[in-house]
Structure 1
C-alpha cells in the first residue's frame, strides 16, 4: 500500500478526509434543520398601525406575555395602512394581519379567500373629523369638492368614507380621498388644509379635539354611534389570515386565538389606566391622561371573547356593496369570511 510522506496511507487519508467532510455536512444539515424548525415556529403579523387604539390587542398580547405563554414567537410588524398590510399577507411575507374584517369580504370578491380568525371589535373606532377652518361642512352631503383624509387608498377608512358620502347623495368622483396615514401626518395634512375632513382613530382624534383644530362630524367609537352611521353592528379590527394557511396550521391558529381571547378578556376586565400601563409610553404622544380617557370611553368596542357579532358580516357587506362595483351583483359566501372554531375552543 502506498505510504504518505511522514507516515499513513493515502487511502486512510482519503477516507479520513471524506469522513470529516461527511460529518461536517451532517452537522451543517442538522443546524439548517434546527434553523428551519425555529423559523417554522415564528409567526409574523402585520398590524395596520399598532399605536392605534383600535389595534390595541396586538401590542397588549405581546406586553402581557400571552404569545410566549402559548409557545409562540410572534413578530409584530407595523404598517400604517391596512391595505398595504393585506398585500404583504397575500404575498406571503407575513402569516396574518391585524386589520379590518371588511378586507375579507372585499378579497373574496376578487377570488381570494381570507378569514377573520379572532374578531377584536364590533365597532370601527373611527371618527370623521372636520377641520375647524371649514364650518360649512355639516354632514357628508357637504363633501362635494372636498379632499378627505384616509389612511390609504383601498383602506377601511377609505371604504367607510366612500360609503358615508354615497349614502348622503354624492357620487364617487365628486370628492377626493387623500392618503395621509394617522397621527402626525394626518394632523399636519389638516393643519395645512390639504384635507378639509378625514377619518381617523384614537389617539389622533383626542389630539385634534384638544387643540380645537377639528370637530367631530360622525362618531363610530361606540356601538350606538356605529349603528346610527352604518345601520348595524360593524365588526372591524380582527386577526385575519389566508384560509389555506389556517387550514394547514390549525395548531398555531388555535394558539394565536388562545392568546388574543385572553387579551380581550383582560381589556374587558381592566380600566383604561391599567391597560395603558402595559403599553409603550410613546403611544401616549405626550398626553397619558387623554390616552387613558379615550381608552375608557372606547374600549366597549372590543368583543369580550373574539366571536364574530351576530349580523355584523351582513352589515359590512351592505356597506361595501353600496359603492364597490366588484361586489354589486356578486354572490359572497359570508360564512367563508370568518371562523369561530378557534375562539370557541380557546382556553
Structure 2
C-alpha cells in the first residue's frame, strides 16, 4: 500500500537563512515507512525537523525496495530510503547513486521460521526443500537470504524463494503455510515471536550477530540519491541529512517508550506495547551520527560478489557509493 505525507513549511536549518523562497518539491520514496529500520524518517517528520528545513518534501512509501529503486531511476523521485546494497548494484549497472546518510549499521532483520516448521528446521541448512519468504525478488531481503543460504551450502534450486511482501502480508503467508520461513523486520518480528507464532532462526538486529553472519559491519538503511542530483542540490541534501541526523541523535538520547510516543498510532498495528518492545530489542541497529561504519561497504560488496551476477566481475569504486560529507557537517552544526 502506498501513501504519502506532505509537508510545506518555511524555516531554517544550521546552514540556511530564514528567508522565504519558492522551493521545488522533493520526492523521497521510503521502502516501507512504517518499518522500524526506517524509523528516523518518520521520527524526523513528527519532531518537526523537516519543517525547520524550509523544504517542500513529499514522502512516498512502497514496501518493496526494488520498486523504490525503479522510481528513482525513472526520475519520479529524487531519493530513496532503502538499503545501501542498492548503490553497489546500481553502479555495477552503470547508474551512479550515493548514500548521503547511513541510518542503520545492521540489517535490523531476522530470519524467522513458523512455530509449526520450527520442530524440524533448526538451522538454515535445514530449509532445503522449503519455501522462504522475502519482500520481493531482487530486494535486499532476497540479497541477504541468498547469501546466507549459499554460505550454508544450499544451492539456489534447493529452496523456493517467494516474494510475499512485508507486515500483514508476510504474517499471513507464514500462518497460511505458503512459506515455512522468511526474513522480516520490526515490528513484524516481535509481532510473531511475542505470540509464539514464529521463532528466530538467525537474528540480524544486533551488531555482534551481524558481524558473525557477514564477517564485518553490514550497513543497511540509508538515504541514497543520484550523484548528479547531489552535486546540483547540495544545500537541499544538507538540510535533509541534518533533519535525519537530528532524529538519529534523538534515538540515542531517548528510550524506546519515549520514541514510540512520537510515532503515528497506525504504525503500532494495534499493539503499541509490542511496538515499544520491538524498538527496545532493535535500537542497537541505528547509527549514532549517520556516518558510514568503517569497513561496512567492503562487507556488503563481498556479499554481493558471492552470488549477484550483476556485480560479479565488475569493477566497483566503493568511494562513489557513499559520502560522509553531509553527516559530518550535521555533527558540527549540532
Question: Common fold, TM-score beyond 0.5?
Answer: yes
Pick from 123, 130, 136 the counterpart of residue 120 of structure 2. Answer: 136
Pick from 156, 159, 174 the counterpart of residue 190 of structure 1. Answer: 174
Aligned to 2:16: none
Q: Does 2:251 align with 1:253?
A: no
RMSD: 1.1
Aligned to 1:111: 94
Q: CA deviation at 1:234?
A: 0.5
Q: CA deviation at 1:112?
A: 0.7
1:1-347 matches, cutoff 5 A: 38=22, 40-134=23-117, 135-346=119-330, 347=333
Q: Distance in 1 between matches of 2:109 and 2:43?
A: 20
Q: Distance in 2 between matches of 1:163 and 1:292?
A: 30
Q: Distance in 1 between matches of 2:71 and 2:192?
A: 31
Question: Equivalent residue of 2:307, what SS?
Answer: coil
Aligned to 1:7: none
Deviations 1:33-57 (A, max 9, x none): xxxx84x532111101011100001
Q: CA deviation at 1:153?
A: 0.9
Q: Distance in 1 between matches of 2:302 and 2:234?
A: 31
Q: Distance in 1 between matches of 2:159 and 2:147?
A: 12
Q: Distance in 1 between matches of 2:274 and 2:207?
A: 21
Instruction: Structure 2: state its 5+ residue gaps.
Output: 1-20
The structure with the largest alpha-carbon Rg is 1
Please list every run of at least 4 consecutive aligned residues from structure 1 whose deviation after the TM superposition is greater than 2 angstroms. none
Question: Equivalent residue of 1:76, what SS?
Answer: strand
Question: Equivalent residue of 1:173, what SS?
Answer: helix
Q: Distance in 1 between matches of 2:206 and 2:196?
A: 22
Q: Distance in 1 between matches of 2:77 and 2:34?
A: 19
Instruction: Structure 1: state its 5+ residue gaps.
Output: 1-36
Q: Distance in 2 between matches of 1:197 and 1:296?
A: 24
Q: TM-score, normalised by structure 2?
A: 0.91
Q: CA deviation at 1:328?
A: 1.9
Q: CA deviation at 1:173?
A: 2.4
Q: TM-score, normalised by structure 1?
A: 0.87
Deviations 1:56-94 (A, max 9, x none): 011111101111101112111110111100110111111
Aligned to 1:16: none
Q: CA deviation at 1:265?
A: 0.4
Q: CA deviation at 1:230?
A: 1.4
Question: Equivalent residue of 1:138, what SS?
Answer: coil
